[in-house]
């Protein structure tokens, strides 16, 4: 652990899918006496004002600030107030928390930085010192979305499954609890939420095979208060948890008695959206995909909906006991998680236009849902992007699937693809404009059954063949054509009229989260590094600045000494960077993450990164016949593409294997791929997934791509 000083970690070069055994679950370590905890800070979080005290800005997670000193009339005068170097070349997804003049922002590997919110001066840094081999468990980069704060205590979820409480003034560790079985491929990337005297945290890992749940811990000492499992245990027996009754009555009958879920856990991880509905005294949370994705492999009996995967679930805030659920994607087959932003609001949808409390979500599957917050009843559900998997919702609110939606041994083009119509990037809601602002996208993917998964255990257990639709040698123009299919847009959605009021088209997908303000503004960063301010009423572009690095994180705003600031964390990386390097028509230059803060009249600058480019030259000639290269392509797609990029094209976050010196000879390649020579950097051994001949076939494919850059 390092704190009260400058943390400058080395850039991590490699991380791929795999599993590493660590510790057991449930141990609490106390490093000191926690500070007294009251209710003041959460009471001030009712609406985002001078401070930004919660992940979603307000208790209802609307990400709408009532600050208006920066507005449509003067936003053009925004300039840089200060910048801070996060010193990581991995993904940055954090929502900064601002309390009492201090900003708390996380970067890769769950490192927490405390900064003076006026100047960006570093106050302290806490590094939880995550074993870099744990990065192999992270499906979508070693990111962290932020912290929670409650009266002098900061709560941090750590990538390896720890939940920790820190003294907000000093960064001193107060207590630490392991929330998962660390022998399994669990991770934590989401932000905790504080509800009364409890801190809530979920987990991720369904791509690799785990069983999901949401846990509530006592803020004072880390004692477990309740836990809600989202899918049955393999024996369908009680867990002694808050979820027992709901699983026995609803979930257990919706799963068969055989299939990969019995071994791999079933999925349903709660890796992001959690909101406290104070009016109804309940916690509403989003549940992720099934594990494996492919329902025919996961649960071949096929007799039920596999509750509660891809669902919105409400539980009693005090006890965690089930209240209601709404499943957005029954028997999920496509990684259509329902973990995207959940927003509470009062809309004129009651009798005679009376206010009705609702919860809204735009999940991966492409429908915008409005539910009654008290009962979970569907009020409306409408497509906000084009889709090929469904034609609408039926009278019961179930998707009307197309004939080809349930892919099998033939490749099917799915829209949305697994990256979703809306991924983790937070949407916002303006109660002034009555608009929800969705960072939407179109990223189709060809999908068909992974036959190899049924013949051997794997780490990345989706049940989908990621080589589908491509060949080892691509005809010229293929990548350009695929790139043209990928789109991004900002949609101002009217949840009452059930249609977009305006839309802004982006250059591509995977753009940043949203901030809405009472100044009539909507802020969003883009994949290519522009922070943009739009007029909330019309979508008119009013101001923009390039921040010299891709922006996935959402902006926040706060006020100190009568001055309003806007802050966003930059940092290339995250799931899209790992999975879609081919999207870019030129090499992506290396860049480090930063925190960039603006104010009216700011005169600061954003420094260049000036990092060296990688030498793009094959380190050995191509070898092997067409059959060997074809086999290498299939194994690469299954074991390597998730981190190093489909088609062996990296975005620069992790090494582009085409230019790696490790490809130079068979012995060196084997040491890294099968013997784990670089495990300390996150590149664990793949000896349980690949035979020596299969590993060598992958090397043949990579060198073929390096020496024949077609497409």
DSSP per-residue string spanning 630-650: HHHHHHHHHHTHHHH-GGG--
The span from the CA of 581 to the CA of 593, in Å, is: 18
166-196 burial, b for 16+ CB within 10 Å, e for fewer? Answer: bbbeebbbbbbbbbbbbebbbbbbbbbbbbb
Catalytic-labelled residue, pool 264, 277, 299, 335 = 335
pLDDT digits (tens, 9 = 90+) for 522-531: 999 999 899 9
Q: Is the pLDDT of residue 497 over 80?
A: yes
pLDDT at 2 over 50: no
Return the domain boundaries, the chain.
Answer: 28-444+486-600
Please write the tens of the pLDDT for every residue from 13-66.
222 223 223 233 445 555 544 344 334 454 455 566 799 999 999 999 999 999
- CATH H-level, domain 28-444+486-600: superfamily: Quinoprotein alcohol dehydrogenase-like superfamily (2.140.10.10)
The answer to whether 512 touches 568, Cβ cutoff 8 Å, is yes
Predicted confidence at residue 367, as pLDDT, reads: 98
Output the six-digit token pair for 180. Answer: 């998962």
Q: DSSP class of residue 187?
A: B
| Helix (H), strand (E) at residue 42 | helix 40-43
pLDDT tens-digit profile of 183-228? 999 999 999 999 999 999 999 999 999 999 999 999 999 999 999 9
Distance CA 664, CA 655 (A): 15
Q: Please tell me the predicted confidence (pLDDT) of residue 316.
A: 98
User: What are the Cα distances from residue 382, in Å, to 329, 366, 394, 506?
Assistant: 14, 8, 11, 22
Q: Band of the pLDDT at 618, cuts 50, 70, 90?
A: confident
Q: Is the pLDDT of residue 103 over 90?
A: yes
Span 263-280, average pLDDT: 96
Whether 394 is a known active-site residue: answer no
First to last CA, the chain: 46
The pLDDT, as a whole number, for residue 29 is: 57
pLDDT at 582: 53
Residue 477 confidence (pLDDT) above 80: no
CA distances from 679 to 132, 135, 207, 686 (A): 8, 10, 20, 10
Angle ∠(371,377,382) on CA atoms, nearest 5: 50
| Residue 457 pLDDT exceeds 60 | no
For the cut 80, the answer to whether the pLDDT of residue 298 exceeds it is yes
pLDDT bucket at 564, cuts 50 / 70 / 90: very high
**What value does the mean pLDDT take over residues 632-649?**
78
Within 10 angstroms of residue 340's Cβ, the number of other Cβ atoms is 24
- pLDDT confidence of residue 129: 97
Burial of 31 (0-12, 13-18, 19+ CB in 10 A): middle
Helix, strand, or coil here: 221? coil
The answer, yes or no, to whether residue 70 has pLDDT greater than 70, is yes
DSSP 444-513: -EEE-B-GGGGTS--SS---B-TTTT--SSPPTTHHHHHHHH-EEEEEEEETTTTEEEEEEEESSS----
- Please, which residues have CB within 8 angstroms of residue 332's CB and are 6 or more apart in sequence? 289, 290, 293, 295, 306, 309, 310
- Residue 8 above 50 pLDDT? no
pLDDT band at 303 (very low <50, low <70, confident <90, very high): confident
Percentage of the chain beyond pLDDT 90 is 66
Question: Can you give the pLDDT at residue 531?
Answer: 98
Per-residue pLDDT band at 583 (split at 50, 70, 90): low
The reported pLDDT for the residue numbered 576 is: 63
- Distance, CA of 432 to chain centre: 28
- 309's tokens: 């995967």
Which segment of 170-179, 558-567, 631-640 scores lowest on mean pLDDT? 631-640
| pLDDT band for position 581 (cuts 50, 70, 90) | low
pLDDT band at 654 (very low <50, low <70, confident <90, very high): low
- Secondary structure (DSSP) of 567-581: EEEE-S-HHHHHH-G
**Better pLDDT: 611 or 674:** 674
Q: What is the mean pLDDT of residues 111-123?
A: 98
- Band (10; pLDDT cuts 50, 70, 90): very low
Task: For 676-709, write each residue's pLDDT tens digit.
Answer: 888 777 787 888 888 999 888 989 888 888 888 7
């Amino acid at each position: 652990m390092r704190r009260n000083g400058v943390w400058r970690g080395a850039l991590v070069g490699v991380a791929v899918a795999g599993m590493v055994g660590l510790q057991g679950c449930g141990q609490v370590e106390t490093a000191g006496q926690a500070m007294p905890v009251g209710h003041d800070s959460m009471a001030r979080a009712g609406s985002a004002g001078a401070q930004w005290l919660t992940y979603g800005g307000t208790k209802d997670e609307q990400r709408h600030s009532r600050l208006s000193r920066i507005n449509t009339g003067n936003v053009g005068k925004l300039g840089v107030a200060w910048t801070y170097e996060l010193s990581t070349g991995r993904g940055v997804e954090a929502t900064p928390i601002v309390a009492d003049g201090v900003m708390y922002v996380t970067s890769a590997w769950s490192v927490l930085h405390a900064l003076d919110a006026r100047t960006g001066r570093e106050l302290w840094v806490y590094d939880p010192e995550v074993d870099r081999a744990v990065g192999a468990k992270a499906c979508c980069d070693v990111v962290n979305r932020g912290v929670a704060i409650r009266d002098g205590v900061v709560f941090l979820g750590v990538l390896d499954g720890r939940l920790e409480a820190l003294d907000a003034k000093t960064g001193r560790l107060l207590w630490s609890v392991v929330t998962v079985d660390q022998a399994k491929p669990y991770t934590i990337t989401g932000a905790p939420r504080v509800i009364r005297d409890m801190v809530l945290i979920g987990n991720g890992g369904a791509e690799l095979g785990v069983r999901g749940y949401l846990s509530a811990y006592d803020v004072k000492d880390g004692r477990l208060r309740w836990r809600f499992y989202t899918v049955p245990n393999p024996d369908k027996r009680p867990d002694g948890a808050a979820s027992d009754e709901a699983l026995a009555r609803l979930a257990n009958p919706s799963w068969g008695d055989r299939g990969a879920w019995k071994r791999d856990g079933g999925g349903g991880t709660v890796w992001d959206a959690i909101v406290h509905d104070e009016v109804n005294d309940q916690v509403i949370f989003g549940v992720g995909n099934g594990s494996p994705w492919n329902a025919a492999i996961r649960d071949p009996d096929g007799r039920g909906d596999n509750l509660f995967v891809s669902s919105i679930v409400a539980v009693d805030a005090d006890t965690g006991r089930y209240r209601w659920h709404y499943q957005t994607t029954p028997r999920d087959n496509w990684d259509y998680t329902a973990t995207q932003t959940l927003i509470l609001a009062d809309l004129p949808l009651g009798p005679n236009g009376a206010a009705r409390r609702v919860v809204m979500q735009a999940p991966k599957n492409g429908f915008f849902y409005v539910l009654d917050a008290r009962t979970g009843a569907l009020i409306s559900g409408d497509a906000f992007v084009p889709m090929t998997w469904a034609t609408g919702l039926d009278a019961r609110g179930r998707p009307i699937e197309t004939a080809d939606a349930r892919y099998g041994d033939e490749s099917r083009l799915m829209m949305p693809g697994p990256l979703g119509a809306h991924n983790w990037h937070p949407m916002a809601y303006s109660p002034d404009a009555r608009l929800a602002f969705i960072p939407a996208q179109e990223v189709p993917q060809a999908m068909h059954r992974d036959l190899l998964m049924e013949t051997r255990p794997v780490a990345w257990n989706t049940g989908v063949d990621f080589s589908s639709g491509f060949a080892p040698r691509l005809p010229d123009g293929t990548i350009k054509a695929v790139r043209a299919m990928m789109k991004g847009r900002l949609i101002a959605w009217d949840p009452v009229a059930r249609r977009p009021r305006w839309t802004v088209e982006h250059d591509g997908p995977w753009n940043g989260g949203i901030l809405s303000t009472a100044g009539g503004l909507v802020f969003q960063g883009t994949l290519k590094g522009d922070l943009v301010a739009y007029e909330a009423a019309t979508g008119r572009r009013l101001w923009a600045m390039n921040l010299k690095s891709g922006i996935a994180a959402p902006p926040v705003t706060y006020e100190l000494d009568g001055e309003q600031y806007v802050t966003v964390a930059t940092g290339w990386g995250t799931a899209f960077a790992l999975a879609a390097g081919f999207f870019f028509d030129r090499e992506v230059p290396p860049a480090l993450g930063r925190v960039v803060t603006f104010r009216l009249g700011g005169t600061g600058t954003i420094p260049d990164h000036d990092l060296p480019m990688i030498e793009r030259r094959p380190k050995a000639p191509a070898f092997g016949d067409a059959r060997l290269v074809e086999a290498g392509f299939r194994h690469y797609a299954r074991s390597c593409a998730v981190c190093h990029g489909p088609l062996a094209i990296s975005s620069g976050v992790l090494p582009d294997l085409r230019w790696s010196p490790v490809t130079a000879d068979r012995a060196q390649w084997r040491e890294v791929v099968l013997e784990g020579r670089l495990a300390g950097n996150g590149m664990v051994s793949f000896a349980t997934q690949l035979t020596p001949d299969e590993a060598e076939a992958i090397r043949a494919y990579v060198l073929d791509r390096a020496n024949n850059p077609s497409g």
